[in-house]
Chain A
Amino acid sequence: MTVDDQEATFQQWIRNHLGIMVKVVRSFAEVSADQEDLLQNVFVNLWSSIPGFRGDSKESTWIYRVSLQTAMVWRRGERVRKKHHSKYLNEIAVAAQSSADVSCHTSELIEQLYSEIRQLPKIDASIALMHLDGIAYRDIAEVLGISENYVGVKLSRIRKELNERLGGTKRWRH
C-alpha cells in the first residue's frame, strides 16, 4: 500500500465513520480534555492500522476494533502523546450538547445513555455500545475476541442493569 492510498483511506474513514470514534470516546471518557486525548490516540492508531486492513471484515467493524482497543488500554492522565493545538477538536464538548436540529429531550436521553455506558465495566460498555448500533452478535464477538454465546449472556445482564438505572418507566423489551 502506498502512502497516498493510506492517506486516502484514512480521510475516507474519517468522513464516513467519525461517529463510531466519537461514540467510543464519549463512552470511555467523560471530561472533554480526556475525550480529546483519547480521540487523538484513536486517530493515530487508526492511521497505523490501515496497512493491516485486508477487507476481511467490514470497515465499521475494523474501526470499532481499533477504537475499542485504544480505549481499553488508554489510561486517563497518561498523556503519552504530546498535545498539539487541536483546533479541530474544540467542538467535542459542543457535540455533547443539543444542536438546532435535535430536540433537547433526545439529546438528554442520548447523554444519559452515554453516562450509563461509562459506568459499565469496559467490556460491557463495548458490548452495549456496539449493540446499540445494531451490530450483529457475531461481529461483536469478533471485535472483542469472545464467543457469541458470551455476548448473548452479557447482553442480557447489561440490558437488565441499564433498565434498572434508567428507571422503571423506561423498560427494555427483550
Chain B
Amino acid sequence: MSFDEWQARWQAHDHGGQLNIDSDALLEEVLRNQSDFEKRMWRRDFGEVTAAVLVTFIFGTLAVLMDQWSLFLGAAGSLFVGIFMVFDRLKQRWQRTTVADSLPSAINASLVQVQHQIWLLRNILWWYLLPLVPGLVAILVSTSRESQGNGLADQLVIAFVGLICLLAFWGVYWLNQREITRNLEPRRMELEELRASLSSGGIEG
C-alpha cells in the first residue's frame, strides 16, 4: 500500500464521528472543570498559608501570655515559612503562561514550573524545616530547664519529644527528596528532551 493510499484511508475515516457529544453539556462541564481547578489551587494555597499563620498566631499568643522568649522564636519561624510561601505562590501565578503561546514557550513554561518544584523540594531544609528548628529547640530547652526539679522522667519525655520531632523532620525531608527522584526529575528530563527536539529543528520567529 502506498503512502497516498494510507493517507486517503486516514482522511476518509471519521475519527470523531462516533462520539455523541452534547455541546451544551460539554460547555457546562468545561466551565465547571475550569472553575473547580482554580478553586482547588486557591484552596491549596490558602490552606498552606493559613496553617502557617495559625501556628504563628498560636505561638505568638502563648509567647505574650506566658512571657516565654522561646515561643517568640517559634512564632518567628512559622511567620518566615508563611511569608516565604505567600511570595512563592504569588511569583508562580505571575509567571503562568497563556494557552495561546507557542509550543516551545508552553514547554518552557512547564519546564520552569517543574524546575521550580525541584528547587523548592530540594531546599525544603532551608526554607521550611530549619526556620522551625530554633523555636522548637528553644521550647524544648526552656521546658527542660523548668522541669529540672521534677526528676529524670520528665527529662526523658522531653528528650523523646525532641527525638520524635527530629524523626518527623527527617521524614518530611526524605519524602520530598523521593518525590524529586521518582516524579519531578523524570518529568524534567522528558520536557528537556522535548525542548531539545524542537531546538534542533530551528525555532521560527
For B18, the chain A residues whose CB sits under 8 A away are 91, 94-95, 99
User: Is A7's beta carbon under 8 Å from chain B?
Assistant: yes
The A121-174 residues at the B interface (CB cut-off 8 A) are 121-123, 132-134, 141-147, 149-151, 154, 159, 169-174
CB distance from B116 to the nearest CB of A (A): 15
User: Is B65's beta carbon under 8 Å from chain A?
Assistant: no
User: Is B95's beta carbon under 8 Å from chain A?
Assistant: no
A69-B99, A94-B18, A145-B103 known; A122 vs B33 contact (CB < 8 Å): no
For B20, the chain A residues whose CB sits under 8 A away are 88, 91
Name the one of B32, B187, B197 contacting A84, with C-beta atoms under 8 angstroms. Answer: B32
CB distance from B17 to the nearest CB of A (A): 7
Q: Name the residue on B nearest A143 (C-beta).
A: B103
CB distance from B42 to the nearest CB of A (A): 14
Q: Is the interface of B mostly helix, strand, loop or mixed?
A: helix
For B19, the chain A residues whose CB sits under 8 A away are 18, 22, 88-89, 91-92, 95
How far apart sit A7 and B30, CA to CA, in the bound complex (Å)? 11
Name the one of B32, B34, B201 contacting A48, with C-beta atoms under 8 angstroms. Answer: B34
How far apart sit A170 and B5, CA to CA, in the bound complex (Å)? 10
Q: Name the residue on A nearest B193 (C-beta).
A: A121
The B1-18 residues at the A interface (CB cut-off 8 A) are 1-4, 6-7, 9-11, 13-18
Do residues A95 and B15 form an inter-chain contact, with CB atoms below 8 A? yes
Do residues A73 and B107 form an inter-chain contact, with CB atoms below 8 A? yes
How far apart sit A26 and B106, CA to CA, in the bound complex (Å)? 21
For A110, the chain B residues whose CB sits under 8 A away are 9-10, 13, 15
Interface residues on A, range: 35 or more
For A149, the chain B residues whose CB sits under 8 A away are 202
How far apart sit A117 and B171, CA to CA, in the bound complex (Å)? 43
For A14, the chain B residues whose CB sits under 8 A away are 21, 23, 26
| Interface of B toward A, CB cutoff 8 Å | 1-4, 6-7, 9-11, 13-27, 29-34, 36-37, 40, 98-100, 102-104, 106-107, 110, 187, 190-191, 194, 197-198, 200-205
The 5 sampled A-B contact pairs (Cβ below 8 Å) are A19-B14, A82-B40, A86-B29, A132-B10, A144-B198
18 more CB-based (< 8 A) A-B contacts, given A22-B15, A113-B10, A149-B202: A43-B26, A66-B99, A68-B103, A69-B99, A73-B110, A81-B36, A82-B40, A88-B20, A88-B22, A95-B16, A102-B14, A123-B201, A143-B103, A145-B104, A146-B204, A151-B201, A169-B1, A174-B3
| Interface of A toward B, CB cutoff 8 Å | 7, 10-11, 14-15, 18-23, 26, 40, 43-45, 47-49, 52-53, 65-66, 68-69, 72-73, 75, 80-82, 84, 86-89, 91-92, 94-95, 99, 102, 106, 109-110, 113, 121-123, 132-134, 141-147, 149-151, 154, 159, 169-174
**Which 9 A-B residue pairings sit nearest by Cβ, starting from the closest?**
A52-B100, A146-B201, A150-B201, A19-B16, A18-B16, A147-B202, A22-B16, A95-B18, A172-B3
